[in-house]
Amino acid sequence: MLALACAMAVAGCADDTPEAVDEGRGTHLAGVMLDPQLDEISGVAASRRHPNVLWMLDDGGNPERLFAVSTGGTRLATLRVEGVTKTDWEDMASFELDGRSYLLIADTGDNGGLRRSLQLHIVEEPSRIENARLRPAWSIAFRWPDGARDCEAVAVDAPNRRILLISKRRQPPELFSLPLHPRGTAMQTAQKLGNLAGVPQADATALRRNPQRARLDSQVTAADISPDGRTLAVMTYRWLLLYPRHANEEWGKTVARAPRFDPLPWLPQAEALAWSADGRHLYATGEFIPAPLYRITPD
C-alpha cells in the first residue's frame, strides 16, 4: 500500500505528454490508472495512428470492448467490438500491414485447459479517438497441435506475416506460430517453434517462503515484438525478458538463447506489456485498480 501511495503521489505531478517522463534509461511511472472500467486490463498495444495513445482490453466476464488510454493512464474512449464472442481475452498487439494499421485481439485464455479452439480477431485501428463500434476485418480460429493449453502472450511479426503465441503454465514456456492472414476460414493449427530458454525459476528459499507465488513468478502473461523486429519482449508475473534477434533469424532460434532479464517494478498482477510505437520504450501495467502504468526504457 505504501508503494501504491507513493506511485499515486508521483502520478499527480505527471501529465499525458511524453515530456513529462524522464527520457533516460530505466523505469519511470507514466501515470496511475484510476478509472474503474480499467480494473481488469490484460492486454495493451501502442497505437500506430495516434501519438501517445495506448489500446487496452480487459479480461473475460466483461463486454467485448477496447479502451483508448493516454500514455499517462487516462481513459479517452471505449469502443465496442461487434460480431465476436468474448471468452477470455488475454493479450493484444498493434501492427501495420499493406499500408493499414491494425489491432489484434487474442481470445486465447484457457485457465481450465478445456477449450478445443481459440480465436484471434483483427480490427482496423480507427482514424479517430472517440466512443465507437468496430467489427473485425478478419478472424482466425485455431487449435494447438497436441491438446489444450493456456496462453496469455501474443505478438505479431508483420513483415513475415506471422503471429507468435507463448504458453503460460508449462515450463519451459513454448513458442508457437500461426499465419497472420490465412486464406479462407478453415481451422488453423499452431506450429511449435521451440521453447523459451532462460526464464528465471524460483529457488528453494522462495518456494519455502511462498510456494504458490514462487511458482507463478515464471508464468508468461504478455509479449510484444519491437517495431524494428529485433527484440521479443516477454513478461512474466515477476520478470521482464528481452530476446534479441539476429537478422532474419527464425524466432525459435532467438528464444533458444538466454535472454536479458530484470525484475519488474512493483506490479502485483503483471498482465500487459507493449513496445511504444517508436520502439524506444515498453509500457507495462496490471490487472487491478488503481494500477501503475510504467514506462520502461531498456538498457
- Could you tell me the CATH number of the domain that includes residue 162? 2.120.10
User: Per-residue confidence at 164, pLDDT binned at 50, 70, 90?
Assistant: very high
- On whether residue 249 sits in a domain, the answer given is yes
- In the predicted structure, residue 22 carries a pLDDT above the cut 60: no
What three-state secondary structure class fits 128?
A: coil
Number of domain units in the chain:
1
Grid-cell match 500487459, residue found: 272
Q: Mean pLDDT of all residues in the chain?
A: 92
User: Per-residue confidence at 192, pLDDT binned at 50, 70, 90?
Assistant: very high
Percent of the chain past pLDDT 70, that is, above it, reads: 92
Query: How would you class 87 by CB atoms within 10 Å of its CB: exposed for 0-12, middle for 13-18, buried for 19 or more?
Result: middle
- On whether residue 25 sits in a domain, the answer given is no
Query: How would you class 181 by CB atoms within 10 Å of its CB: exposed for 0-12, middle for 13-18, buried for 19 or more?
Result: middle
- In the predicted structure, residue 105 carries a pLDDT above the cut 50: yes
**Residue 4: DSSP 8-state:** H
If we measure between CA atoms, which residue out of 181, 66, 214, 229 comes closest to residue 133? 66
* pLDDT digits 0-9 by tens, 66-90: 999 999 999 999 999 999 999 999 9
* pLDDT digits 0-9 by tens, 206-226: 888 888 888 889 999 999 999
- On whether residue 24 sits in a domain, the answer given is no
- In the predicted structure, residue 8 carries a pLDDT above the cut 50: no
Q: Give the helix/strand (H/E) hosting 2.
A: helix 2-11
The residue range of the domain holding 290 is: 2-8+30-297
- On whether residue 112 sits in a domain, the answer given is yes
Rounded Cα–Cα distance for residues 43 and 52 (Å): 17
Asked if 250 and 19 count as a contact pair (C-beta separation under 8 A), the reply is: no
What pLDDT, on the 0 to 100 scale, is given for residue 248?
87
- On whether residue 19 sits in a domain, the answer given is no
Average pLDDT over residues 198-207: 88
DSSP assignment of 206-265, as one string?
Answer: HHHH-HHHHHHTT-EEEEEE-TTS-EEEEEESSEEEEEE--TT--HHHHTTSPPEEEE-S
- On whether residue 104 sits in a domain, the answer given is yes
- On whether residue 16 sits in a domain, the answer given is no
Asked if 71 and 18 count as a contact pair (C-beta separation under 8 A), the reply is: yes
What pLDDT, on the 0 to 100 scale, is given for residue 15?
44
Longest dimension (CA), the chain: 53
- In the predicted structure, residue 184 carries a pLDDT above the cut 90: no
- On whether residue 18 sits in a domain, the answer given is no
What pLDDT, on the 0 to 100 scale, is given for residue 216?
87
